[in-house]
């Protein structure tokens, strides 16, 4: 599925999260951990982006996902694009969890272990009555339920 979305970079994360009307969200998702790049404060109209949800219907690894994204001339969507999707098409996160691998938060694991990468994702809970925004660590293999938000280049 492809969605045409208005993305307005002048808004703060707190405003974008509020507009998406989540029932719950991870407060680690903020401007400090996910700095906004290319903010154009002088723009008065939003950019229109095309976001496609890639699904595979089976377990896939990161290499398969990257190959599919590249073959379709896409890039992984950012957190801002994911928030726009959540605002304008809230029912999509009820169907399946949707991850945006174009934005990542890096955290060193406990006891000086490796750096872990966390990606923002949309999900539903309470028998699909409520919606949330959280972080998910990078998997080497993803199950068949996941959708990957990708933006047309």
Is residue 40 situated within a structural domain?
Answer: no
Residue 121 belongs to domain spanning: 2-35+48-152
In a domain, 42, yes or no: no
Residue 41, both tokens: 């404060």
Number of domains making up the chain: 1
Give strand pairing partners of 137: 118
73-104 pLDDT, tens per residue? Answer: 999 999 999 999 999 999 999 999 999 999 99
Q: Is the whole-model pTM more than 0.75?
A: yes
CATH of residue 117 = 3.10.100
Q: pLDDT by residue (tens digit) across 129-146?
A: 999 999 998 767 899 999
**Strand locations in the chain, DSSP E?**
2-7, 24-25, 47-54, 60-61, 74-76, 98-99, 105-108, 115-125, 130-137, 141-142, 147-152
Q: Which residue is listed with tokens 């694991």?
A: 109
* Structure tokens, 149: 């938000």
């Amino acid at each position: 599925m492809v969605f045409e979305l208005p993305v307005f970079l002048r808004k703060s994360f707190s405003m974008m999260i509020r507009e998406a009307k989540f029932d719950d969200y991870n407060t680690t998702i903020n401007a400090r951990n996910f700095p906004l790049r290319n903010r154009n404060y002088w723009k008065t109209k939003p950019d229109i982006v095309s976001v496609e949800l890639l699904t595979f219907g089976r377990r896939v690894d990161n290499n398969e996902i990257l190959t599919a994204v590249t073959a379709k001339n896409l890039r992984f969507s950012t957190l801002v694009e994911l928030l726009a999707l959540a605002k304008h098409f809230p029912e999509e996160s009820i169907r399946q969890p949707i991850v945006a691998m174009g934005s990542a938060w890096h955290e060193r694991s406990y006891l000086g272990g490796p750096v872990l990468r966390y990606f923002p994702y949309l999900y539903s809970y309470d028998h699909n009555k409520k919606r949330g925004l959280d972080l998910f660590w990078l998997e080497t293999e993803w199950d068949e339920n996941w959708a990957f938000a990708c933006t047309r280049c």
